[in-house]
Amino acid sequence: MKEYRVKPGSKVNLEDWDPKDDGGIDDGKTATREEFLDLNGQLERLQELLYAESKHKILIVLQATDTGGKDGTIRHVFDKVNPQGVKVASFKRPTDTELSHDFLWRIHQKTPANGEIVIFNRSHYEDVLVVRVHNLVTEEKWKKRFEHINAFEKMLADEGTTILKFYLHIDKEEQKERLQERIDRPEKNWKFSSADLKERKLWPEYQKAFEDVLEETSTDWAPWYVIPANRKWYRNLMISRIIVNTLKDLDMKFPSKEEGLQNVVID
pLDDT in tens, 148-193: 999 999 999 999 999 999 999 999 999 999 999 999 999 999 999 8
In the sheet that holds 57-64, the strands lie side by side as: 86-90, 117-121, 57-64, 161-169, 224-228
Q: Is residue 257 over pLDDT 80?
A: no
Res. 92 pLDDT band, cuts 50 70 90: confident
For 2-253, which CATH class? alpha beta
Q: Is residue 263 over pLDDT 90?
A: no
| 199 to 66, 71, 132, 156, 196: CA distances (angstroms) | 8, 19, 13, 32, 5
Query: What pLDDT score does 2 carry?
Result: 83
Res. 261 pLDDT band, cuts 50 70 90: confident
Query: What pLDDT score does 21 carry?
Result: 95
Q: Which residue has the higher pLDDT, 219 or 256?
A: 219
